[in-house]
């Protein structure tokens, strides 16, 4: 059975975690983490590349040793070194790492001192007061562990959800597989995936065929299927690798549009649409649009909206949060699209924790038709990411000047991702910040401040005349770290007053701002930067997925700073400096 990139990426990430638990060489750990990140955003299948005999060392960050590991995983679905390390460190320790405030050192201490191998054993030890007896732990930590595990237990009854980027890497090869089935006319993904939600619980696929098709057999026999739950002529369900459930429905062509609308959802949107239809003397369902017993539409999705006198509502807006009322008035936003983007204002190079040179990032961006990029390596406080000192930043500025002299078709902007310190000051002095084209600022530590203190901290930083963009504003990591407490409305109003920009960070683990805060920014008149935070050239592709989040937040091109031309962008940025 071939393995997909999402599976390979997770295996490498888990192996890196195990290596860190064991106290392995940090450069080795970083190599596996970098490979995991790279493969997660790689547009091509590793398994397919191996099958074709391609040289994997040509991929960014993949050397000879890692290439051999990837060949093993692609062929066997496992890595023997990972299996060996699991004999020394139980795999259940990885679950403990998901607890807030429990890092690698503490997990190793729990294992070595108390023999704790999983969450249930940790909970038992915490309730018995044994955890607080270990050096480095106290009663407060013990209580927090119990609360965190209880919160995780509450979520166990809910269907697990995976990040949309992971779902995409799993599902798109399946779609290509189904399209090759005999007699198939169309294959469409519906559900929360089509609406662009940041996580999905399952995948709904609709297929139209000519009545003589092997599509259900091809689905059940797909190489990534781990368990077939149901197989029929019109509905089949299966669980794929990584536990993602996929439901495949064959629908008649005459009702394929209404079926696509119905299974795209959301449930709340569909209920509101049915109520509107009733008021107009109509009925809508997955089977079509009816006036009494007469079918009056349903072959095209547009019928659902036009027959209710509505503008077509893009899938990303279908959450019953005002989109139907706006469509009735003809006032739906013209949502931003990938074609509107003219640059990327947050990315890293080898100078800090990136895996490509500045020139490589610039050339990759130019291939996408961008006019500009900003290189935003980390500042000195973030030592783990080899953050730049003022001296190293000065050297980089000279390097960028030389690069801009010989590069055609794109401009590299001088920038930095500077840490916001606990007191609200920035990690680098104004004397060096003043020499930059723009400054991206971020919180990377002290996440546990009170709501008032965290908000005050960031507002204080915003007052700096060289502050341009607030990166990943809430600090969340989806499924790993909750956002720190913030008064977001107060923060955005302060940003508006100072002419600062809020970032929608498009890293799949972040997607921060969320769609609610994107819409808040729009309504308060705060500009948003759509940024990939790319650490390698392939991660520039994340702009495509992040656009979905922006669209869910009702953002239009005029709401986004990096839809501007370079000239207009610099006018806006320099106005704040004055």
The confidence score (pLDDT) of residue 90 equals 87
For helices 26-40 and 164-179, give the axis angle rounded to 10 degrees.
50
Mean pLDDT by 10 residues, the chain (578 residues): 80 90 86 82 81 83 87 89 89 84 86 90 90 86 84 60 88 93 96 95 95 94 92 94 90 96 96 96 95 94 96 97 96 97 96 91 96 95 82 95 96 97 95 96 93 96 95 90 92 95 94 95 97 92 92 98 96 81
Which has the closest alpha carbon to 17: 148, 137, 107? Answer: 107
The confidence score (pLDDT) of residue 4 equals 81
Taking the CB of residue 315, how many other CB atoms lie within 10 A of it? Answer: 22
The angle at the Cα of 528, spanning 526 to 533, to the nearest 5 degrees, equals 150
Strands (E), 169-212: 184-189, 199-200, 202-209
The confidence score (pLDDT) of residue 497 equals 93
The answer to whether 430 and 464 are in contact (CB under 8 A) is yes
Q: Of all helices (H) and strands (E), which one includes residue 195?
A: helix 191-195
How far out from the chain centre does Cα 85 lie?
29
Taking the CB of residue 482, how many other CB atoms lie within 10 A of it? Answer: 13
The whole-model pTM stands at 0.83
The confidence score (pLDDT) of residue 452 equals 96
Dihedral over Cα of 496, 493, 512, 189: its sign: negative
Residue 201 CB contacts under 8 Å (≥ 6 apart), including other chains: 159, 160, 161, 192, 245
The confidence score (pLDDT) of residue 9 equals 87
Taking the CB of residue 224, how many other CB atoms lie within 10 A of it? Answer: 21
The confidence score (pLDDT) of residue 42 equals 75
DSSP-derived 3-state class of residue 365: helix
DSSP for residue 534: B
The answer to whether 450 and 462 are in contact (CB under 8 A) is no
Burial of 574 (0-12, 13-18, 19+ CB in 10 A): exposed
Residue 496 CB contacts under 8 Å (≥ 6 apart), including other chains: 524, 525, 526
Domains contained in the chain, CATH given? 5-155 (1.10.150.110), 162-250 (3.30.460.10), 255-328 (3.30.210.10), 338-577 (3.20.20.140)
The confidence score (pLDDT) of residue 236 equals 96
The confidence score (pLDDT) of residue 312 equals 98
Residue 379 CB contacts under 8 Å (≥ 6 apart), including other chains: 387, 388, 393, 416, 417, 418, 419, 426, 427, 428
Phi then psi for residue 205, to 5 deg, are -125, 135
Work out whether strand 411-414 and strand 294-297 pair parallel, antiparallel, or are unpaired: unpaired
The confidence score (pLDDT) of residue 444 equals 93
């Amino acid at each position: 059975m071939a393995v997909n990139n999402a599976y390979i990426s997770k295996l490498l990430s888990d192996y890196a975690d195990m290596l860190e638990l064991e106290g392995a060489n940090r450069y080795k750990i970083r190599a596996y983490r970098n490979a995991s990140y790279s493969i997660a955003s790689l547009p091509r299948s590793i398994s397919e590349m191996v099958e074709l005999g391609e040289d994997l060392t040509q991929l960014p960050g993949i050397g000879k040793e890692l290439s051999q590991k990837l060949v093993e995983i692609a062929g066997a679905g496992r890595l023997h070194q990972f299996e060996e390390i699991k004999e020394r460190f139980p795999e259940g320790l990885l679950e403990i790492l998901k607890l807030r405030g429990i890092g690698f050192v503490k997990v190793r201490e729990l294992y070595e001192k108390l023999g704790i191998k999983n969450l249930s054993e940790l909970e038992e030890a915490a309730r018995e007061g044994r955890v607080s007896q270990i050096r480095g732990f106290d009663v407060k930590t013990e209580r927090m562990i119990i609360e965190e595990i209880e919160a995780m237990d509450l979520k166990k009854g809910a269907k697990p959800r995976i990040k949309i980027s992971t779902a995409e890497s799993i599902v798109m090869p399946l779609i290509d597989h189904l399209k090759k089935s005999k007699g198939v006319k169309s294959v469409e993904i519906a559900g929360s995936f089509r609406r662009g939600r940041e996580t999905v619980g399952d995948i709904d696929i609709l297929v139209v065929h000519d009545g003589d098709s092997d599509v259900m057999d091809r689905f059940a026999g797909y190489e990534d299927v781990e368990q077939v739950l149901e197989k029929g002529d019109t509905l089949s369900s299966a669980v794929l690798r990584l536990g993602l459930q996929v439901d495949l429905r064959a629908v008649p062509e005459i009702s394929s549009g209404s079926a696509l609308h119905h299974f795209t959802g959301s449930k709340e949107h569909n209920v509101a649409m049915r109520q509107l239809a009733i008021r107009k003397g109509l009925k809508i369902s997955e089977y079509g649009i009816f006036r009494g017993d007469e079918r009056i539409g349903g072959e095209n999705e547009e019928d659902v909206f036009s027959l209710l006198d509505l503008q077509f509502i893009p899938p990303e807006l279908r959450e019953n949060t005002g989109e139907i009322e706006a469509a009735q008035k003809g006032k739906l936003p013209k949502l931003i699209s990938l074609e509107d983007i003219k640059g990327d204002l947050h990315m890293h190079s080898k100078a800090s924790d990136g895996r490509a040179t500045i020139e490589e990032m610039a050339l990759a961006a130019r291939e996408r038709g961008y006019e500009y990029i900003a290189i935003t390596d980390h500042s000195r406080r973030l030592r783990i990411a080899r953050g730049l000192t003022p001296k190293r930043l000065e050297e980089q500025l000279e390097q960028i000047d030389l690069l801009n002299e010989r590069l055609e078709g794109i401009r590299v902007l001088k920038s930095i991702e500077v840490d916001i310190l606990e007191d609200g000051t920035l990690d680098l002095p104004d004397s060096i910040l003043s020499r930059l084209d723009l400054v991206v600022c971020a919180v990377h530590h002290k996440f546990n401040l009170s709501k008032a203190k965290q908000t005050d901290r960031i507002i204080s930083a915003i007052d700096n005349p060289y502050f341009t963009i607030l990166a990943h504003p809430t600090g969340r990591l989806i499924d790993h770290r909750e956002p720190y407490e913030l008064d977001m409305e107060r923060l955005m109003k302060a940003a508006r007053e100072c002419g600062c920009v809020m970032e929608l960070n498009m890293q799949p683990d972040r997607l921060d701002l969320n769609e609610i805060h994107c819409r808040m920014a729009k309504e308060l008149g705060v500009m948003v930067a759509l940024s990939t935070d790319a650490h390698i050239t392939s991660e520039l592709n994340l702009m495509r997925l992040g656009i979905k989040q922006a669209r869910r937040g009702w953002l239009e091109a005029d709401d986004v700073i990096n839809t501007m031309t370079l000239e207009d962008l610099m006018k806006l940025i320099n106005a704040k400096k004055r």
